[in-house]
Structure 1
């Protein structure tokens, strides 16, 4: 099975004075604003790190749900959070870490089994593995 989904971004202007919008194929996000101020100054709007965090938290919860099902368990609640850290480095800004947390209610699960299954889900989550994925670029210029 192969699934492809997309997100789009529009940007106009310079880094600090420019403005952009992001949208998703599904329409869940439609022209949501982002910019230097939403990324670095706490102004309302979204930013790439927040979007990665949301995608990671959602993917991990779904991966764990699948793994729990294979183990004969069903969660009544999986609340995950993925905190993405962006830091200025000598060669530019870099995502330096992601901290994933989970609060789970899983009837019949023991602590050790839960920890094993959660670790398996973290390792197998497609977004957890994202940075190892090949990326291709096709760029065109209009003048």
Structure 2
């Protein structure tokens, strides 16, 4: 079993504090604040933004693997994620994740591509970890 590490540190209170997240190998390191998570600040990241990046990365890689299982080699799979943070029962809740993916996979037709997209949505490990999210959608476009 492969072990991955990450860490986060938060200092001070909720609204006047700040934090930093980083991956175990140091490849990702970012600051975050109350404003970057719940407000309009574009300075810093948020846990939800990082979840979106993880989901997009996992989905793209998994879709590529599924294509490979069909003896197809993607030129590329590019996925973007929108993660919506709302509120339920007085607390924050990830209400919806929208994945938008575009791929160029020579030798595949759109029906087979859409089938693989649905399999990737259901099967990628991050999708499985996010099963509690009420709504996850995928809009997929096959480029020629």
What is the TM-score of this pair, normalised by structure 1? 0.87
- Aligned mates of 2:10, 2:47 — CA distance in 1: 13
- Aligned mates of 2:131, 2:106 — CA distance in 1: 34
Larger Rg: 1
1:132 to partner: Cα distance = 5.1
What is the TM-score of this pair, normalised by structure 2? 0.86
1:42 to partner: Cα distance = 2.9
Q: Deviations over 1:19-76 (max 9, x none)?
A: 111110121123x210101112232111000000000000001101110000011110
Gaps of 5+ in 2: 133-144
Gaps of 5+ in 1: 134-143
More strand by share: 2
1:139 corresponding residue in structure 2: none
Aligned length: 131
1:125 to partner: Cα distance = 0.3
- Aligned mates of 1:36, 1:129 — CA distance in 2: 28
Q: Structure 1 stretches (4+) deviating beyond 4 angstroms?
A: none
- Aligned mates of 2:87, 2:3 — CA distance in 1: 32
1:35 corresponding residue in structure 2: 33
